[in-house]
Chain A
Amino acid sequence: MRHDPTPLRPADDIMTTPEADAVLEDAAAAVAGLDALDTPTTTTRPRWRRAMATGLPLFVAMLLFLAVWQLVWASAITDEFKLPAPADVWHSFAKIVDDGQVWSILWTSISRAFLGFAIALIIATPLGLLVAKVRPVRAAIGPLLQGLQSLPSVAWVPAAVLWFGLTDATIYFVVLAGSIPSIANGLVSGIDQIPPILPRVGQVLGARGLTSARHILLPAALPGYLAGCKQGWAFSWRSLMAAEIIAAGPLLGFGLGAYLKQGSDFNDMPTVIAAIFLILVVGIGIELLVFRPVERRVLRARGLAGA
């Protein structure tokens, strides 16, 4: 009898007659069969083929670019000091690698970008949560936050120089002004895109307030938040370069931006182009090495599009 206090018997011993057993076995088989038929099938391409599919076209494109560059240079359409040969740029790059200067340049810029990005995360995350969940806050600063995203952070540089002088504070201010809006807006849109059923589920499962934020809201918003972080990184890197190029001074160290500025001051085109490439490579490299794998893992765990 059901009302005997035996809340959960194993599926197979509810009934004891042979016919009943047969029926249960039948049900079990039906369920198992249905599961086997309905389970989504996944096909995975081998890793090397994926790498080939993404890597090869990129490699070919870069080769073509170099070939065209070499060709344009060889045809001598423009002056040498405007368009140096690829080999000259390479030599310029090899020079700072040889004397070890490249590591201190890269470290100066990358450590700044990371520190700035980390501070931006700490500020933007609670800010995004507030804007997403507290209606008056959203009405008050939501539009501003979105507007700030389209304000080029280089516009902050002159103001920051007047406020903080040629110090690291100027650099960090510009980096934060560039990346905080992106990260906060990413979190806001991540939260806005949560299917309404999930918070409801959290509620009926017994999640309230902060527990709900931790177990439902934040994990559900994670894809949007990560996209925001990725964009925030790009903005923080961009802003940093703008700040380093414009604000140069003895207190500021010698980063990638300063390296580029120096090349430009000396009319040294190979150095300028080498610096531009380095800035590009670091920006893309961090995205590929740090953000892409994290994002991929998160999206794949949720079965989201071809990640």
Chain B
Amino acid sequence: MTSTIERADTGSRTGPPALTLRGVAKTFGHGSEAVTALRGIDLHVEPGEFVCLLGASGCGKSTLLNLVAGLDEPTAGDVTLGTARPSFMFQEAALLPWLTARRNVELPLQLAGLGRRERRQRADELLSLVRLKDQGDKRPHELSGGMRQRVSLARALAATTATTPQRATGGGFGRRSPGQDWEAENRPGMLLMDEPFAALDAITRDVLQGELLRVWEATGITILFVTHDVREAIRLAERVVLLSSRPGTVVREWRVGDGPITLHDEITGRLRQVITSHAA
């Protein structure tokens, strides 16, 4: 199954960039022990853009996501966010096993201080967005891996929009009252995805990639997606950014929409070069 959802016209994107990294570097440790994970990273992500970071092991992908999420501080350079607080999706669904699917989605809303009814309604909307409307009362262990990862997606969506209270709009998602300045009131947030589908079987992964694109279309959210699967990067992203390893730097970028048919081979070729340069 391939996605037939049209890429949004990137020219129409307005507003400040969702994310700007300027000369970002990250070094762990001191002196001779120091390990440079990232060096001189410049990256701009437009609001609503879907960007894949591609790289082999040791390219500092996770470090980069941590910096964007504010879980870690860069050693040099700066990270500027133009969206609501970004939220994370991991390789494992990492649902809280003692909560039902719905309560898992509600948790970030609860932590953001939303009322019981409001957060329940929002959680139900998000669950139906990921086609789990009737599974809200199940516990994580009663769901399949793919379903869990979709609950995790719904939870991440809840987390990234939780910081902008919905009270003014009556709690409705997408039911915007006319004349309201939505962009200012409720900027769609940003999802940081750290190989979210890597632990799934091939069939489920394929279906979930399609689902993620659909959700991306429906929410207008910005996505920064880390993978080491070239095929996945090309299928999902509008822009693919290839990172080198140890330290991680930006090697090249491709815009997927206007790339040549042989884009897959080209990217794979460059990735291979990056990897072989570490052979010695």
Contacts and interface: CB of A to CB of B under 8 A. Distances in A.
B251 interface: no
Given A35-B147, A38-B145, A1 B9 contact: yes
Interface in B63-77: 69, 71
Interface string A10-30: 110011000110011011101
Contacts of B12: 1, 3
A34 B4 contact: no
Contacts of A30: 1, 207, 210
Contacts of B161: 7
Nearest to A197: B94
A207 B87 contact: no
A43 interface: no
Interface stretch (B211-219, B252-260, B271-279): B211-219
Contacts, number: 150
A198 B85 contact: no
Contacts of B88: 201, 204
Contacts of A44: none
Interface residues of B, number: 65
B273 to A, nearest CB: 34
Interface stretch (B22-30, B35-43, B123-131): B123-131
A46 interface: no
A10 B128 contact: yes
8 contacts: A7-B174, A8-B129, A204-B87, A204-B88, A205-B87, A206-B159, A207-B111, A303-B141
Contacts of B129: 8, 10-11
B147 A39 contact: yes
Contacts of B98: 219-220, 222, 298, 301-302
A38 B214 contact: no
Nearest to B162: A206
A45 interface: no
B218 A9 contact: yes
Interface in B1-25: 1, 4-5, 8-9, 12-14
Contact of B108 (A26, A42, A205): A205
A30 B214 CA distance: 14
B263 interface: no
Nearest to A32: B131
A135 interface: no
A28 B155 CA distance: 20
Interface in B142-183: 142-147, 155, 159, 161-163, 173-174, 176, 182-183
B96 A1 contact: no
A28 B131 contact: yes
The A contact surface, by secondary structure, is: helix
B135 to A, nearest CB: 8
B90, B96, B217: which has the most chain A beta carbons within 10 Å? B96
A141 interface: no
A301 B210 CA distance: 31
B107 interface: yes
B140 interface: yes
A8 B108 contact: no
Interface in B101-138: 107-108, 110-112, 125-126, 128-129, 131, 135
B147 to A, nearest CB: 6
Nearest to A20: B4
B174 A204 contact: no
B217 A3 contact: no
B31 interface: no
Given A14-B218, A220-B96, A301-B139, 19 more contacts: A1-B12, A2-B8, A2-B48, A2-B217, A5-B220, A7-B174, A8-B219, A10-B128, A24-B214, A26-B1, A27-B214, A34-B204, A38-B145, A39-B142, A39-B143, A205-B155, A216-B96, A222-B98, A303-B140
Contact of B183 (A5, A14, A301): A5
B232 interface: no
Given A40-B141, A197-B90, A220-B96, A206 B108 contact: yes
Contacts of B94: 197-198, 200-201
